[in-house]
Chains A and B, each alone.
Chain A
Amino acid sequence: MNLSLFLQFLVNGVALGSLYALIAIGYTIIYGVVGLINMAHGEFFMVAAFLTMWGVMTYNLPWYVSFPIAMIITVLLGLLVDKIAYKPLRKMKTSSFIGAISISLLLQNFFIVFFTPRSKPFPHPAILDEVILLGDVALPVVNIAIVVVSIILFLILSFIVTKTDIGRAMRAVSKDLEASQLMGVNPNKVIAFAFILSTSFAAVGAFMYCSKFPYVDPFTGAIPGLKAFIGAVIGGIGSIPGAMVGGFLLGLGEIMLVAFFPTLTSFRDVFTYLILILFLLFRPGGIFNVKVREEKV
């Protein structure tokens, strides 16, 4: 493999990895605060992308109007789902997990029935379709945008978590729910804030993802949601840097596997699940070795 070919794979892998990292953060924020594996995260992702497309297609809005509206609706939906479906089950670990799966299926089927099951083109700024050529290496503008947006969001998130009151409260709740309550933290407020953050990340991730892979349908969230979840587990679920690193390595690894072993393209997913199982068996805390928490839901 020559250098330009390797760089081309690197360009592809970094973009895919950043996308996974962006989505993985949504899982980890919720898990960190509530202890819930939010299986419906991929569907929040889909809802944001789908509504953006719907606004453009049906109401002829430009994407920069349609996307913020879709994002707000997604955030509200996240809060609503938490209130009516997750909150009543919060004490029961298994039930809330099943509840999250049900919400995922419910949202998917709702969109199939009331909108359309057909894949539709995703509206995105035309500049993202441009490609910069560096010698033999093609560098799509959308890849640059994905990496830049991801970095900005990571910085914002780390600022929120480390420097603001609500961020400190989030960390307190994730360490010890009862003690933080005694210290005057309102857990409901913190959990609501976690859902706002998580769904916002899902919405931005969806916009970047669908700008790169330019179509959307009710199944859009399933696969990236699953991959990002695996990324979060590999990194150490509950840890924000863990989700970033895990998601990033997973995306990069998927591309590099094909780069170095072209005959193994069919085993791309096998590789992903294999890594997951190995991690669960031998290092359940993930790369960042997050402490096993017994009690939270």
Chain B
Amino acid sequence: MKKHVLFSVVILFALVLASCAPAAAPAEAEEAAVEEVVVEEAVVEEAAVPDTIRIGVNETMTGWGAPYGDMTWKGIQLANKHKPEVLGSPVELILVDNKSEKSESALAAQRLVEVEKVVAIIGVNSSSMAMAQNEVLDKVGIPAIGPACTNPLVTLDKPYAFRAAFIDPVQGWAAAKYATEEVGAKTAVLLVDITLDYCVGLSNYFRTNFIEMTEDDHSILGFFSFQTGDRDFTAQLTQIKALDPDIIFAPNEYAEEAAILQQAKQLGITAPFLAGDSADVPELLEIAGENAEGFAYTAQFHPDGYTHPEAVVFIDGFREDYDMEPETFSVTGYDAYMILMDAIEKAGSTDPDAIKDALAVTNFVGARGLTVFDEEGNGLLGVPVIKVVDGKKTFRYIADPE
């Protein structure tokens, strides 16, 4: 009897876990939505410029991605304050929380299109969530511009998907360049959250570039993994310590990264850690404290790296409004909004297809300088490298891929 009860408990757990795990987007629901929306779209096209221009924002406001969503939303709001109108109509932002879950992200996109009738969407800072969203939007033909999502698959073969960020192959290249040229590393180890597309993708690009730059097929000494939400990394780190690499590439979310840095310090690991732009939130330094000394990462932005007028407007405005330093997520949110407004202006209408065509030929000076898209809709931008020195994130240089 009890055996059965307990067994059903396990099954229930499995179900709960499955819903937490990166699940596929709810396909049937989407499919149904697609058809409905196509019909409605025809009506939208006939209208001229509406009284208010409705822009959807799909962000990770709760769940593990909350700090990212929050910073992105701050950037978007600031941009909205700097440019509240386009084509003579006020812009209305409609924020939907996707709870940092893939299936919720697809549903959020669906809701923005069907219920809120938005003409374009800004979102999502996380690659996994952005993929789920774009799967929906590409079918209904609503353009989306992503902030800090960097996995190449977000925009691949999706004509309606763009992003105000460089992609992970570029970031992986910049990280490997920093590791080999600045640190002088000959060997590296990877420590990666395997439940997130971003972490897995970026670590692979780092691996390829690092092997190429060191000209040694065996320069990656090991690959260690864990899952989002894990907090004990001592087993992996003890293995890593025994391998004694020159550098450890660990492109993970901020909380896990902070715990990794702390446990590495406790275990006496002296090799420096290197990560990607997901490390760029204030919480990382708050949690890791002095354990983060010497930790470096590639980011989308650092206020010390940009001095052109558009950057100054953004940086000063951000500091004034929020009393904090702008970083990767706020700048990509800000630029995503500005680029979208520029596209709507050039399109001269709020027709989603016209906006999409205007976005494709974007040539806009944002907070990170001139932004253009490649043929897949990815931002072509330099990669600032940041290092933690004396407890402060310090700008090193911008790696410019040509």
Give the interface of A toward B (CB within 8 A): 5, 8-9, 12-13, 16, 37, 93, 97, 101, 112, 116-121, 129, 131, 133, 138, 140, 213-215, 217, 219, 222-223, 226, 233, 237, 254-255, 257-259, 262, 265-266, 268-269, 273, 276-277, 280-281, 284, 292-294
* Cα separation A252 to B90 with both chains bound (whole Å): 60
Contact partners of A292 in chain B: CB under 8 A: 1-3
B324 within 8 Å of A by Cβ?
A: no
Give the residue of B1, B3, B64, B226 whose beta carbon is less than 8 angstroms from that of A265: B226
Lowest 8 A-B CB distances belong to which pairs? A258-B235, A213-B231, A12-B234, A117-B66, A119-B255, A117-B62, A284-B3, A292-B2
Across the interface, do A119 and B287 meet the contact criterion of CB distance under 8 Å? Answer: yes
Across the interface, do B227 and A269 meet the contact criterion of CB distance under 8 Å? Answer: yes
* Cα separation A69 to B64 with both chains bound (whole Å): 27
Across the interface, do A93 and B5 meet the contact criterion of CB distance under 8 Å? Answer: yes
Instruction: Write the chain A residue with the least CB distance to B258.
Output: A215
The majority secondary structure among interface residues of chain A is helix
Give 1 or 0 for each of B193-224: 1 = CB within 8 Å of chain A CB: 01000000000000000000000000000101
Contact partners of A269 in chain B: CB under 8 A: 227
Contact partners of B266 in chain A: CB under 8 A: 129, 131, 138, 140
Number of chain B residues whose Cβ lies closer than 8 Å to a Cβ of chain A:
47
Contact partners of A255 in chain B: CB under 8 A: 232, 234-235
* Listed A/B pairs (6) with beta-carbon separation below 8 Å: A112-B62, A254-B235, A266-B225, A268-B235, A273-B10, A273-B14
Quote the shortest CB–CB distance from A262 to chain B (angstroms).
5
Of B144-152, B236-244, B373-381, the one touching chain A: B236-244
Instruction: Write the chain B residue with the least CB distance to A104.
Output: B16
* Cα separation A281 to B11 with both chains bound (whole Å): 13
| In the complex with contacts A131-B268, A219-B229, A5-B254 CB distance below 8 A | no
Quote the shortest CB–CB distance from B23 to chain A (angstroms).
16
Across the interface, do B235 and A265 meet the contact criterion of CB distance under 8 Å? Answer: yes
* Cα separation A219 to B99 with both chains bound (whole Å): 12
Contact partners of B10 in chain A: CB under 8 A: 273, 276-277, 280
Give 1 or 0 for each of B236-270: 1 = CB within 8 Å of chain A CB: 10110110000000000011001100100011100
Instruction: Write the chain B residue with the least CB distance to A11.
Output: B234
Give 1 or 0 for each of B376-388: 1 = CB within 8 Å of chain A CB: 0000000000000
Across the interface, do A119 and B254 meet the contact criterion of CB distance under 8 Å? Answer: yes
Contact partners of A93 in chain B: CB under 8 A: 5
Across the interface, do A9 and B235 meet the contact criterion of CB distance under 8 Å? Answer: yes
Contact partners of B13 in chain A: CB under 8 A: 226
* Cα separation A9 to B289 with both chains bound (whole Å): 25
Across the interface, do B62 and A222 meet the contact criterion of CB distance under 8 Å? Answer: no
B230 within 8 Å of A by Cβ?
A: yes
Across the interface, do B235 and A259 meet the contact criterion of CB distance under 8 Å? Answer: yes
| In the complex with contacts A121-B287, A215-B255, A258-B236 CB distance below 8 A | yes
B286 within 8 Å of A by Cβ?
A: yes
B6 within 8 Å of A by Cβ?
A: yes
Across the interface, do B62 and A214 meet the contact criterion of CB distance under 8 Å? Answer: no
Greatest chain A CB density within 10 A among B5, B232, B289 is at: B232
Contact partners of B231 in chain A: CB under 8 A: 213, 223
Instruction: Write the chain B residue with the least CB distance to A222.
Output: B229
Give 1 or 0 for each of B1-31: 1 = CB within 8 Å of chain A CB: 1110111011011100000000000000000
Quote the shortest CB–CB distance from A23 to chain B (angstroms).
13
Quote the shortest CB–CB distance from B287 to chain A (angstroms).
4
Give the residue of B7, B9, B14, B222 whose beta carbon is less than 8 angstroms from that of A262: B222
